[in-house]
Structure 1
Amino acid sequence: MALDLWLVYAAACVGLSLTPGPSGLLALTHGVLYGLRRSAATIVGGALGFVLVVAVSMAGLGALLAASTTAFTVGKWIGAAYLVYLGVRTWLAPSPYVRLGAGQDLPEVSARKLFFQGFLCASTNPKVIIFFAAFLPQFMNPASPFLPQFMVMALTFAAIEVLYEFVVAGSAHTFAPWLSKARVGRWFNRITGTTFIGIGSALAVVNRS
């Protein structure tokens, strides 16, 4: 992947990570309930789950490309449209809500259990798989081998997501009450939704050239 394309991909991954979703809210909640150190297991599990999702999505895209180059191009257009649709849905979504609890009232939870909670949260959400199937073709080169592209895309997103979730979990006691405010949460959704609409629109224009 060329450096300029990778920079665009990395920026898009940052926007994706900042969008409210199950994994980010799980890291936020575990940060509040268990603290940053124990939440690390949740975050690592989620990162591995996302790597699995990227692998599944790219395998399907590889089969699509093998079947028809035209179908692959159509898939890219559909993907750009889906990004715009997701942006609109995020913009209109209600404010994120995180239930704050008292850590001392919770039963002891093993790191293994937290790990699998993070892994399952990231890997079993069908909307995540659909999103990556729409998102990844915008940055793939059909003429290049898939394995190196997979490694770059999967590891880039996993690294950004891990960094983001560590920040969220580490600042959970301050961040969660602020995000749970209706007005702040609405603006957060609008900013991230507008980001996705912009990315989808820009990719649709680039595809025409």
Structure 2
Amino acid sequence: MDLLALLPAFVIAVLLISASPGPAMILIFRQAAFRGWRAAVPTVLGLEAGLYVWALAAGAGLAALVAASEVAFVVLRVVGAVFLVYLGIKTWRTVWRSRTHRGVEQSDAEALITPSVSRRGWWRAFGEGTVVMLANPKAAFFMIAFYPQFIPAHRSLFATTALLAVVQVLVETAFYLTLAAVAGRTGAWFRRPRIRRRVDAISGAVLVALGLRLAMTTR
């Protein structure tokens, strides 16, 4: 079957996968809700940069080597788990700091103001997204199992994988930025101190739980 005939099914599969809950969704939602949709852009770009690196690795056969190597699998699993737990604890610390300064509550008028994103904050968000994607061994298994289903036998594995990855990056970027725009529209409500503390507490718990689940992941 020709590649063009397979693209609609590929795009639908990518959308379904993108919509599944996970660390990516949490990071994007928090950035957009608390800092506006523009703040979610570096997170999205970081996630997609990590995804594309994995796709190129899969096309070159490196992802298969990582998946087959017990040492590489364990290292990625531990790094990914530690980083997710770190992000969760970092989120909880935000809750704790806000509780210790409850005397200075943000007014509704202040909540309407979208916080600006510094250059340093932009790159930090980009880095977090990239590390979350690259330090996930499941990404290697995903590329190995998912992409070959949409690559015709007569086409180059590496070139076609790189092309499909571009399609996936574009589709996911559009989807995640749409999600960020929706979350950003309700940002004033989420930036209220009481609501933000609750969202941070829940998202921190989810990130820690995802990290622990990743740590216990087996092949």
TM-score category (smaller protein)? 0.5 to 0.7
1:24-173 equivalence runs, <5 A: 24-27=33-36, 43=37, 45-46=38-39, 48-61=41-54, 69-70=65-66, 73=73, 74-93=75-94, 94-95=97-98, 125-137=122-134, 138=136, 140=139, 141-143=142-144, 144=147, 145=161, 146-168=165-187, 172=188
Change (3 A) 1:56 1:165: same
- What do residues 41-71 of structure 1 show as CA deviations (whole Å, max 9, x unaligned)? xx3x445544433343335545666567438
* 1:189 corresponds to: 200
Q: Secondary structure at the match of 1:208?
A: coil
* 2:26 corresponds to: 15
Cα offset for 1:88? 1.3
Runs of at least 5 residues in structure 2 that lack an aligned partner in the other structure: 1-12, 148-160
Supply the distance in 2 between the matched residues of 1:83 and 1:3 (Cα, whole angstroms).
Answer: 24
In the alignment of these two chains, the number of paired residues is 169
Supply the distance in 2 between the matched residues of 1:98 and 1:88 (Cα, whole angstroms).
Answer: 23
State TM-score, norm by structure 2: 0.55
What is the letter of the counterpart of residue 185 of structure 2? F
Change (3 A) 1:24 1:60: same
Larger Rg: 2
Change (3 A) 1:5 1:121: same
Cα offset for 1:84? 1.1
Cα offset for 1:91? 1.2
Supply the distance in 1 between the matched residues of 2:14 and 2:48 (Cα, whole angstroms).
Answer: 20
Supply the distance in 1 between the matched residues of 2:120 and 2:51 (Cα, whole angstroms).
Answer: 14
Counting aligned pairs with the same residue, the percent is 17
Change (3 A) 1:48 1:187: closer
* 1:208 corresponds to: 218
Cα offset for 1:95? 2.0
- What do residues 128-147 of structure 1 show as CA deviations (whole Å, max 9, x unaligned)? 22321232244632333332
Q: Secondary structure at the match of 1:159?
A: helix
The answer to whether the 8 A contact 1:92-1:190 is kept is no
Supply the distance in 2 between the matched residues of 1:98 and 1:160 (Cα, whole angstroms).
Answer: 28
